[in-house]
């Protein structure tokens, strides 16, 4: 699971009003080479919650020198875009789990795929 994916996921456990952001418990993190596309990264920067991305990357030890806060005009800095690209697309949690911050329900990540399915008792 890439950190870009994590940034978009939320828990839908019954009774949970805010299941975001999910807590990452990474057992295995791998790095994958992905072709750099500056335009794609610029578009994603407008969609991601930067604070969540920063905290997630920090929690798994893969900050790659990204800044804690976005600054104006960073989308024109190729060095920054390459660092953001790395954190968003090349860092992958291969094994571990995601944890709902409210209910503490655990969602396994197996072979890079998060399983967000709920049992009938937890469906919203």
Contacts (Cβ under 8 Å, ≥6 apart) of 72 = none
115/23 Cα distance (integer angstroms): 14
- Output the pLDDT for position 120: 60
pLDDT by residue for the chain (124 residues), tens only, comes to 999 999 999 999 999 988 999 999 999 999 999 999 999 999 999 999 999 999 999 999 999 999 999 999 999 999 999 999 999 999 999 999 999 999 999 999 999 999 999 876 555 5
- Output the pLDDT for position 118: 81
Task: Please list the residues that pair with 23 across neighbouring strands.
Answer: 99
- Output the pLDDT for position 119: 73
114/44 Cα distance (integer angstroms): 20
- Output the pLDDT for position 122: 52
Report pTM: 0.91
Structure tokens at 120: 């009938």
């Amino acid at each position: 699971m890439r950190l870009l994916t994590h940034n978009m996921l939320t828990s839908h456990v019954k009774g949970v009003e805010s299941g975001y952001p999910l807590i990452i418990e990474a057992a295995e993190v791998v790095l994958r080479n992905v072709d750099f596309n500056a335009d794609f990264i610029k578009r994603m920067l407008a969609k991601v919650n930067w604070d969540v991305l920063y905290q997630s990357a920090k929690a798994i030890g893969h900050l790659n020198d990204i800044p804690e806060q976005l600054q104006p005009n960073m989308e024109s800095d190729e060095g920054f875009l390459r660092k953001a690209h790395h954190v968003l697309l090349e860092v992958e949690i291969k094994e571990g789990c995601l944890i709902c911050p409210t209910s503490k329900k655990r969602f396994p990540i197996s072979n890079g795929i998060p399983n967000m399915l709920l049992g009938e008792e937890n469906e919203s």
